[in-house]
Amino acid sequence: MLLINRYKDKVKKWITFNEPYCIAFLGHWHGVHAPGIKDFKVAMDVVHNIMLSHFKVVKAVKENNIDVEIGITLNLTPVYLQTERLGYKVSEIEREMVKLSSQLDNELFLDPVLKGSYPQKLLDYLVQKNLLDSQKANNMQQQVRENFIFPDFLGINYYTRSIRLYDENSSWIFPIRWEHPAGEYTEMGWEVFPQGLFDLLTWIKESYPQIPIYITENGAAYNDKVEDGMVHDQKRVEYLKQHFEIARKAIENGVDLRGYFVWSLIDNFEWAMGYTKRFGIIYVDYKTQKRIKKDSFYFYQKYIKENS
């Protein structure tokens, strides 16, 4: 709140948290990001504390009539059922397990932010698996309902989709495994799948109360090389072009999409991967700090000019 009060005249849109999934699960369950904890129950505590903290800030802004808009940014991943995608008959257990796994990635964060409750079936499943205490689950649900306040906008970070298949031999929380179809992948190992952005935005429009949406991150990491003082990142240009067109299609289909931001302006420090992955539309020579505008920079510049 100190920051918001200090800069409210200059900054009119604020985000309480960026990527709660990464903070909670990658940092406290999978342990691949700081603080490197590997405890699912701790991760669920983090999820809940983030939600309550988010509500507290949004409430403070509203109650003090501060002239800014405030929201949250979630990294969301549309989940597709592999056998359904291939046209096979899907069993009820297969559909249910994949749906629950999707709820852990998406609805666990979307539902409290936009509906004021956690997905109950997911909580029940976690309690059944002794991954969540029954009383704690009830308290979490009650506290979210009591503290819920609707945000001014929703930020979405989108990069790829997830294809999942029921596997009764899986040792994961859910009896599923991941499928990786043939296609183009970025340096992060993420499939390039623009249609997923349209499917995600359309699903949110149909499943949640209407809210202005911003794509706060979308982009791709590639192994960029400097050639004669230039960076010809044609794959990134094509990636951005396809996602821009999908975003336009979503707007035409009634999605209240207000803005789009490429990740990222410059090559930067990417979580635990450090400087090994380049997302920028401006190349950074990390030894000299020299900046070089990539082809994607000029494409983006031209696209904005022609479509503004």
Q: In the prediction, which pLDDT does 87 show?
A: 59
Question: Which of 115, 102, 127 lies closest to 51, judged by CA?
Answer: 115
Give yes or no for residue 85 having a pLDDT over 70: no
For the entire predicted model, the pTM comes to: 0.95
pLDDT band of residue 84 (cuts 50, 70, 90) is low
- What's the CA angle centered on 16, arms 74 and 100, to 5 degrees? 30
179 is catalytic: no
217 is catalytic: yes
The CA-based diameter of the chain, rounded to the nearest angstrom, is 63
- What's the CA angle centered on 57, arms 56 and 61, to 5 degrees? 120
Distance of CA 180 to the CA centre of its chain: 19
Residue 84 Rama label (left phi>0; alpha psi -120 to 50; beta): alpha
CA atoms within 13 A on the CB side of 300: 22
With contact defined as beta carbons under 8 Å apart, do 181 and 163 qualify?
yes
pLDDT digits (tens, 9 = 90+) for 217-250: 999 999 999 999 999 999 999 999 999 999 999 9
Q: In the prediction, which pLDDT does 2 show?
A: 81
pLDDT band of residue 90 (cuts 50, 70, 90) is confident
Tell me which of 94, 107, 191, 217 is the catalytic residue: 217
